[in-house]
Structure 1
């Protein structure tokens, strides 16, 4: 796989590793409002390439629906369940990418073993907990988000070619859809300047530039290998949460071994 594909995938992963932390720092904004503002900012970040947003209606609809469903479910999961646990469940999507890609790209035993080892590293990041009904709803939304992202990530290889910058149009469309849903289903909320700044940061980075990088990586690289590399994300994301005080001090001892397992698994899966 080319260096460009690896670089794009790693860039997207580093941006996504900040997503949960930025959501936590964005305050108490309702999930659909946060999703809408962030996605609109993500779309506007690539407005200078708006001519490349032109895609067939079916692809546009698929992109908008996928990004709306993924982010609405994930932000809601962060609100309903402990953020570290929901974050890990969301990162089942690399495993789902590897599994769903098997028909197109058969995997060697070493690649499958690498996926298992890397996921075991991700699992070490959090401690078991006794979930409430509300937590279970959040976990279910996190799993739905993971499946949505895996399908969206594999779609470019099966769809007619379109520019990676078209993801800006997907973001803007999904953001407007989320804002409309907020107006219909959520209590009106006036965010503070700090909350708006946090939403804008989410939009420009994890929900903006990251999509362009990820789309290019999935087009030019091997989906199974990139999916395996993505196991770095839950560890880096949980490390960011720990640094900002969202993870209990007793969880720190798991981060070192988890990083070693993830690194070993990614290396084996390559």
Structure 2
């Protein structure tokens, strides 16, 4: 016990980051569940509201004047757009299995972030970056095509089944990649996550009131799920902020690239989804492609 206590004390910030990654891995399952319990927009609006309140409780109420204006406008706009696209792509999917496909598409953002960084950088990069990015995209195609095998006709047929959700999922991946690159340059080391969560909740509530979604019907079970989801997602961001203070950034960065695996595993258990071998192979390809991108660019830098 003394050894474990000493290890935890010395590596507490790294442990915070590990917990944050595991908490983030639940977002696919929770968003989909809330969309079924309430509605896609209403469920997401309530979840982000709970998360925003939780973050304000543990991190304090953000002061708008302390953040750079460009960061608030550009970074905030990208953050809100990403969260809405992600939440609605998961909630509006035709089935739980299709929601899993949306989640995997979203996890293209690490590879896209590196691709964008490479394109705007004047430095030479390892040639392995490009096949690694292609590997990640192949993994997504593998998940969408299923056991039938990858072909353009099959991919287009599956996408045409619900084109809006696929569009939002791909948009989410691209938007978050841009967010990661842009905010690093304009945030001046500030983190307005709490404020951005509040803005996301507000935008979703406006969208909900102008939508045709049914009124929200609360039960004890659905309310507990809502509170759990909001607190878990908010806690993930709060713990990650703490991890950045003194955690092992290389270890956490590497571990974060396995989030698609953790997320798929949790969602398949929580939502009682039976995934095919080809889907898991696609998840592995997305993870491997993104991880190789990270490793070869880290060595180069």
What is the TM-score of this pair, normalised by structure 1? 0.77
C-alpha distance after superposition, 1:4-38 (max 9, x if no partner): 99767655442232111112322342222222211
The residue aligned with 1:45 is 54
- Asked if the contact 2:104–2:140 (Cα under 8 Å) also holds between the matched residues in 1, the reply is yes
Classify 1:252/1:43 alpha carbon distance in 2 versus 1 (closer, same or farther; 3 Å).
same
3-state SS in 1 of match to 2:60: helix
Classify 1:265/1:60 alpha carbon distance in 2 versus 1 (closer, same or farther; 3 Å).
closer
The residue aligned with 1:142 is 169
- In structure 2, list runs of 5 or more residues that go unmatched: 1-10, 147-153, 296-301
C-alpha distance after superposition, 1:127-156 (max 9, x if no partner): 536426451221011111111111222233
Matches of 1:264 and 1:92, distance apart in 2: 9
- Asked if the contact 2:143–2:279 (Cα under 8 Å) also holds between the matched residues in 1, the reply is yes
Q: Which has the larger radius of gyration?
A: 2
Report the Cα offset of residue 44 of structure 1. 1.4
Matches of 1:180 and 1:268, distance apart in 2: 38
How many correspondences in the alignment? 264
Matches of 1:174 and 1:255, distance apart in 2: 31
Report the Cα offset of residue 62 of structure 1. 3.3
The residue aligned with 1:17 is 25
C-alpha distance after superposition, 1:56-89 (max 9, x if no partner): 4443333443333222222221213411111111
3-state SS in 2 of match to 1:248: coil
- Asked if the contact 1:118–1:266 (Cα under 8 Å) also holds between the matched residues in 2, the reply is no
What is the TM-score of this pair, normalised by structure 2? 0.70
C-alpha distance after superposition, 1:96-148 (max 9, x if no partner): 11111113465323454555555555655555364264512210111111111
- Asked if the contact 1:122–1:231 (Cα under 8 Å) also holds between the matched residues in 2, the reply is no
Tell me if 1:172 matches 2:181.
Answer: no
Query: Which is worse superposed, 155-164 or 14-23?
Result: 155-164
Report the Cα offset of residue 158 of structure 1. 0.9
Classify 1:67/1:35 alpha carbon distance in 2 versus 1 (closer, same or farther; 3 Å).
farther
The Cα RMSD (Å) is 3.9
